[in-house]
Structure 1
Amino acid sequence: MGPTRAQFIQYAPAALALASVTAGPWSALAAAAAGAGAWAAGVSAPALRSLIACGITASGCGIAAHQILTTGMNPLFALGLAVPAGAAALAHHRNTGAGLSVLPATTAAGQSSQAQVITAWWTEFISGPTQTEGRKLIQPGAVLAHLSLDAGDEHASFSGIITVPQGQQVRVKAADIASVYQIPISQVEMGDPKHYAPNALPVTVHLKRAPELPEQPGITAGAPTTPEDLWAAHVAVPDGAMPGTTLTLTRYDGPLDWEGIATRDRKAIGTVNLQALAGNLDLETIQIALAPTDKPSQMGVRVMREHALMHGTMLSHVVDELAMDSRGYVRLGTYIDTRAALVPLAQPGSGARHLYLVGGSRSGKSGILEQILLSAHRSRIGVILASPQAGTIAGAHLAAYCGDGLDEAMGALRLAYALMLDREARYRSPAFPFTDPLVLIVIDEAHMLLSVSSPYHAEAKAIVEQLTRRSLKRGIGVVLATQTPLAEDLGNSTVIRSQLLIGGGAVFLRCAKGQGSLVGVNAVEGAEGIDLSMIPSSWPGQYAKVADRDMSGLAAEASAGPEDGTFGLGYLLTPGSQAVQFRSLHLDVPPASLAGSQPPVAVEGCQAWQFREVITQTAVVDQRGKNLIGSLADLLTKTEQGPAPLPQPRAQTDPAGPAADGQELIKPRILELLREESIPMTAETIARKLGTTAKNVKPRLSELKKRNEITNENGLWRAA
Structure 2
Amino acid sequence: MTTPATTQDRSASTERAVAIVTSAAPIVTGLLAPLLDGGAAFTAAIAYGGAAGFMAANYMNRLPEGLIGNLPAGDVFRAHRSPMFISSLTTGAALAMGTLVGPDGADALMAGVLGLPSIPGIFSLGWWAAVGLVPWKLRNVLGRKTPKHAPAVVAAARASIPTGAATGADLIAQRWGQYISHPDTGSHKGQILTVRTLGPNRWTGTITALAGSSVTVPADTVSSVYQVPTAWIAFKNGAHAGERHIAVHLTAPAELDPNTLTGAWKKYLSKPGGLMAGTHLKDVRDDPNTGGQVAVVVAGEDLDRLRHPDRLDLAGALRTKPILISYEPRQNPREAVIRKMDHNPLQKGAAFPGVHVLKVNANGYIQLGPGVSGFPARIQLHDPALGAQHVIVAGVTGSGKGGTLQLIALAHHVNGSAILYADPKGSSNPAITKMAAYSGLGPDAAMGALRIWYHGLQHRVAESGRTEMKNFKATKNRPWVPLILDEASKLLGENAEHKKEATFIINAGATLGRSMGMPIILANQLMQLAQLGGDAAIRDNVFYGGSLILLRSDSSQKHLVDLPENFAGCNPADIPPAWTGDRDMIYDPSKPLNDPERTFGLAFAASPGGHAEMMRNWILEDATPYIDTDNIGIPVDWPFWEDREELAARSVLPSDQGTEEDDLDGDGTLFSFASPAPKKPTSADDKILKVLEEIADPLGLEVLYRDKNDIARLAGLEGSTFDNALSRLVKADKIHRQMENGKEVRGKYGFGPSPFPSA
TM-score after normalising by structure 1 = 0.57
Which shifted more, 357-366 or 231-240? 231-240
Amino acid corresponding to residue 499 of structure 1 in structure 2: N
Instruction: Provide the residue aligned with 1:331 in structure 2.
Output: 367
SS in structure 1 at match of 2:519? strand
Instruction: Provide the residue aligned with 1:568 in structure 2.
Output: 601
Which shifted more, 345-354 or 616-625? 616-625
Instruction: Provide the residue aligned with 2:281 in structure 1.
Output: 247
Checking the alignment, whether the CA contact within 8 Å between 1:287 and 1:307 is kept in structure 2 is yes
Distance 1:537 1:506 in 2: 20
SS in structure 1 at match of 2:539? helix
Alpha carbons of 1:528 and 1:362: their partners in 2 closer, same or farther (altered >3 Å)? same
Alpha carbons of 1:546 and 1:477: their partners in 2 closer, same or farther (altered >3 Å)? farther
Alpha carbons of 1:628 and 1:188: their partners in 2 closer, same or farther (altered >3 Å)? closer
Distance 2:380 2:165 in 1: 79
Distance 1:351 1:599 in 2: 23
SS in structure 2 at match of 1:484? coil
How far the C-alpha of 1:251 sits from its partner, in A, is 4.6
Checking the alignment, whether the CA contact within 8 Å between 1:414 and 1:615 is kept in structure 2 is yes
Amino acid corresponding to residue 299 of structure 2 in structure 1: R
Checking the alignment, whether the CA contact within 8 Å between 1:125 and 1:137 is kept in structure 2 is no
Q: Which among 412, 419, 422 is matched to residue 449 of structure 2? A: 412
Q: Which among 576, 579, 600 is matched to residue 612 of structure 2? A: 579
| Residues 78-477 of structure 1 mapped to structure 2, 5 A cutoff | 175=217, 183=225, 186=230, 228=262, 231=265, 235-236=269-270, 242=276, 244-248=278-282, 250-251=284-285, 258-265=293-300, 267-269=304-306, 271-278=308-315, 280-281=317-318, 284-293=321-330, 295-315=332-352, 317-395=353-431, 396-428=433-465, 429-432=468-471, 433-435=473-475, 436-477=478-519
CA RMSD of aligned residues (A): 5.5
Alpha carbons of 1:205 and 1:622: their partners in 2 closer, same or farther (altered >3 Å)? closer
Checking the alignment, whether the CA contact within 8 Å between 2:169 and 2:195 is kept in structure 1 is no
How far the C-alpha of 1:374 sits from its partner, in A, is 1.0
Amino acid corresponding to residue 423 of structure 2 in structure 1: S
Aligned length: 500
Amino acid corresponding to residue 390 of structure 1 in structure 2: G
Distance 2:517 2:338 in 1: 38
Alpha carbons of 1:123 and 1:585: their partners in 2 closer, same or farther (altered >3 Å)? same
Q: Which among 617, 624, 629 is matched to residue 649 of structure 2? A: 617
State the identity %: 24
Instruction: Provide the residue aligned with 1:590 in structure 2.
Output: 622
How far the C-alpha of 1:125 sits from its partner, in A, is 10
Distance 2:202 2:495 in 1: 79
Structure 1 residues without counterparts, runs of 5 or longer: 1-7, 10-43, 48-94, 151-156, 165-170, 195-200, 211-221, 555-562, 642-720
Checking the alignment, whether the CA contact within 8 Å between 1:250 and 1:260 is kept in structure 2 is yes
Distance 2:405 2:625 in 1: 16
Instruction: Provide the residue aligned with 1:478 in structure 2.
Output: 520
Amino acid corresponding to residue 431 of structure 1 in structure 2: K
How far the C-alpha of 1:282 sits from its partner, in A, is 6.1
Residue 539, structure 1, aligned to residue 576, structure 2: no
Checking the alignment, whether the CA contact within 8 Å between 2:448 and 2:648 is kept in structure 1 is yes
Distance 1:386 1:571 in 2: 25
Amino acid corresponding to residue 439 of structure 2 in structure 1: C
Alpha carbons of 1:381 and 1:547: their partners in 2 closer, same or farther (altered >3 Å)? farther
Distance 1:291 1:450 in 2: 33
How far the C-alpha of 1:634 sits from its partner, in A, is 4.8
Alpha carbons of 1:354 and 1:161: their partners in 2 closer, same or farther (altered >3 Å)? same
Alpha carbons of 1:234 and 1:478: their partners in 2 closer, same or farther (altered >3 Å)? same
How far the C-alpha of 1:536 sits from its partner, in A, is 1.4
How far the C-alpha of 1:462 sits from its partner, in A, is 1.0
Structure 2 residues without counterparts, runs of 5 or longer: 3-69, 74-156, 239-244, 665-671, 686-759
Distance 2:462 2:637 in 1: 15
SS in structure 2 at match of 1:247? strand
How far the C-alpha of 1:226 sits from its partner, in A, is 7.0
Instruction: Provide the residue aligned with 2:100 in structure 1.
Output: none
Q: Which among 617, 631, 635 is matched to residue 599 of structure 1? A: 631
Alpha carbons of 1:640 and 1:456: their partners in 2 closer, same or farther (altered >3 Å)? closer
SS in structure 1 at match of 2:337? strand
How far the C-alpha of 1:291 sits from its partner, in A, is 2.1
Instruction: Provide the residue aligned with 2:118 in structure 1.
Output: none
Checking the alignment, whether the CA contact within 8 Å between 2:451 and 2:652 is kept in structure 1 is yes
Amino acid corresponding to residue 340 of structure 1 in structure 2: P
SS in structure 2 at match of 1:175? coil
